[in-house]
Every structure is written in structure tokens, then in C-alpha cells.
Chain A
């Protein structure tokens, strides 16, 4: 069965500092991986996705993630945090079986940006 683990339910960084949010997956088949962001009282917005085309994926708002098969990881990074990045971030995996759109989400990481 596929699963996703997000290390750290809360992460605090200073404005301008590096953001690193960790995600490890478990999958017996090559997975499709996603990062979503959720602002208070909002739905989820896609930041980026990995679909095996390239291991380094660039997303919106300056975020990027690197797929490392050997480490079964898909960590999210941003070189310089901005106050507007404060939100909850979810890593998700979707099985590579065609015809299904079920996502399995991690438990989320709440990012706090300190002035």
C-alpha cells in the first residue's frame, strides 16, 4: 500500500531563510507525487507535481522539489521564505495505475515565517 510521511508537523523559519519541508513516500510502483498548500479556510492549491519527466520539479511561488528514488523522498524547498508562505503544506501520492485519481495525503506541515 502506498503512504506518505511528512516529518515535522510544525516548521518555523525566519523571513529570508531557506524553507525545507520533508516528505517521504512508500510505494511499490513509481508514484506520482504532489505538493499542495492550504491557506486558512481555503481549499488546497497545487504547488508542483512529479510525474517522472524530471527529478527536479519547479513549482509556483518559487518552490521546487527533488525526487530522490534512492531515498524515497520528495522534499519541498524555497531559497528565501516570505511572510506570505505561512500556510499548511501537504505532500500527496497518487498511484500510477491508470484510471484512478485517489490521492493519499501526508499529515501536513504547518509553516510559520518569523519576521
Chain B
């Protein structure tokens, strides 16, 4: 069974640009969450999607957005990139409907560097 796939693995962008990251969840998983990991702030929740609807949102500016498609694949977009957006972005999928104690399975992440 394939795991969570995130593309691309590495990305370098310039300040002011926008970027789109992609996440393909484990087959059958309908919940997809996104996290930002930085040395200073640690792992922070961005948002969660379930059946193409955003169900939870973290405390990030509106420059961070996401969406989920009917096949559960998800994308997140960051517009007007800032140096502080440099981070490892992790996607996690869960088998929704099994209760909140269901574990999340993480992808390897996309390392975004803003220069």
C-alpha cells in the first residue's frame, strides 16, 4: 500500500512569488491535514480537509490556502512568499470516520526555501 506522497520534495522560490504544494493521501483516506515545521516554531497545524471541505484551520495568514479534490488529493498554496515561509511542509492523511484517536500518516514533506 503506497504511503502519503508529497511533491515536490524540494523547492526554491523568490520572495513575492507564490507556490503550490501537492499531497496524495493513502488510498481510502479522506482526511488530509497540512503542517508547517520550522526550527523556531516547531510543528504547527495549517488546515485540515475532509471531503473537499476545510474542516479546521490553524492560526496562519490568509496567504496560506488549500483545497482538496474529489479523489482526496490536496494542494496547498502560499502567495506572496516571505523569507519566514521557509520550512518543511508536511501533509498527513487519516482514515476519517474512525474517530479522533485515529492516527495520521505523514508524507516525507516538501522543503521550501524562500530566497
Name A's B-contacting residues (CB within 8 A): 32, 34, 36, 41-46, 49, 51-52, 90, 94-108
Query: Complex: how many Å from CA A4 to CA B4?
Result: 26
User: Distance (Å) between the CB of B25 and the closest chain A CB?
Assistant: 12
Could you say which interface size class chain B belongs to?
A: 20 to 34
Q: How far is the CB of B100 from chain A (nearest CB, A)?
A: 5
Q: Complex: how many Å from CA A98 to CA B99?
A: 6
Q: Is the CB of A101 within 8 A of B31?
A: yes
B contact residues around A104 at 8 Å (CB): 45
* B96: nearest chain-A partner, CB-CB: A101
Which of B62-70, B76-84, B102-110 lies at the interface?
B102-110
Most buried by A among B50, B101, B102, B104: B101
- Name the residue on A nearest B6 (C-beta): A43
Q: Say yes or no: B109 contacts A97, CB within 8 Å.
A: no
Task: Contact check, B100 vs A96: say whether CB atoms are below 8 A apart.
Answer: yes
Interchain CA distance A46-B99 in the complex, whole Å: 17
Q: Which chain A residues border B104 with CB–CB below 8 Å?
A: 46, 101, 103
Q: Which of B6, B100, B103, B109 contacts A98 (CB 8 A)?
A: B100
Within 8 A of A (CB), among B27-71: 31, 33, 35, 42-45, 48, 50, 55-56, 58
CB pair A49–B103 under 8 Å, yes or no, is: yes
A41 to B88, CA, bound (A): 9
Whether A102 pairs with B101 at a CB distance below 8 angstroms is no
Given known A43-B4, A95-B100, contact A102–B45 (CB-CB < 8 A): yes
Give every chain A residue within 8 A of B6 (Cβ-Cβ).
Answer: 43
Task: Check if A102 sits within 8 Å of B4, measured CB to CB.
Answer: no
B111 to chain A, nearest CB (A): 8
Write out the residue numbers on chain A whose beta carbons fall within 8 Å of the beta carbon of B100. Answer: 32, 94-101
Chain A residues in 8 Å Cβ range of B109: 42-43
